Amino acid sequence: MDTSLLWEIIEILYLNENEPMTVLDLKRELDPGRDRSITKRDINRVLYYKRGTVFQTCGNSPGTSKPLWNLTSETYHFMDVLYQEKSAFDPESVDKTELFCVSCGDLKITSYCENPNCKENPVPIGATAVPGDITGGEGKSILKLFGYYAGQGSSKEEREFAIQEALETILWILPGAKNEDYVKSFGEPKSKTRCHRLIELLQGFNVPNYLNSREEDIEYIMKICSTYEDSTHD
């Protein structure tokens, strides 16, 4: 994997406001003087290798079958943060080696490698990494992480699915993260602590319209939790 070419392509797309480009567009940007002997094949290799994680296709160039590429929203956001942080510095001085996993070469959207097949990925198998912005409070709860939504148009099945995930998932956080205490307060999966904390959370939702669904959901948690053995985790 040619990480310097990967990096150049990411920067071109980012600095062009993530306008979708064909491989030929990229080639023109990368090698305007045609003296770098970068081939379309080289570019395609990078694009397809990182398709879905770093790059995505978004239709074809009008009137042709040539795919248009741009950055995934995660990558675009990552670049935004990077550029804001580094705006005071010369972009050339950014140490790009830190951005890629030393083992698998994947772009690290967070501070660690998220590739599920990479030995550098610190998240244990079966665990869910809790991002640093899940700190409790409105719109930032653990339930949100599992897609819980109780507003208009929410279905009981969807809410119950999210709740079950929240009850039974191993939560992992980057050691020393700011939300460590919040996440740890949810205890082990299928524990009494987890049950109590999720009920507390629902009780705290200060939205009277959704009272019915909230009561239903609390009942659902109690029903599920009664099937857990008396936990040895707590």
For binding to Zn ion (CB under 5 A), which residues are involved? 101, 103-104, 106, 113, 115, 118, 120
Q: Which helix (H) or strand (E) holds 59?
A: strand 55-60
Nearer to Zn ion by Cβ, of 115 and 128: the residue is: 115
Helix 23-30 / helix 3-15 crossing angle, nearest 10 deg:
100
Nearer to Zn ion by Cβ, of 51 and 192: the residue is: 51
Nearer to Zn ion by Cβ, of 109 and 142: the residue is: 109
For residue 101, the minimal CB distance to Zn ion (Å) is: 3
For residue 106, the minimal CB distance to Zn ion (Å) is: 5
Cα dihedral sign, 171-176-177-180: positive
Q: What is the DSSP letter of 22?
A: -
Which backbone phi and psi does 212 adopt, to 5 degrees? -60, -50
Contact present, 151 and 141 (Cβ < 8 Å): no
Q: Are strands 67-71 and 55-60 parallel, antiparallel or unpaired?
A: antiparallel
For residue 113, the minimal CB distance to Zn ion (Å) is: 3
For residue 49, the minimal CB distance to Zn ion (Å) is: 13
Nearer to Zn ion by Cβ, of 54 and 195: the residue is: 54
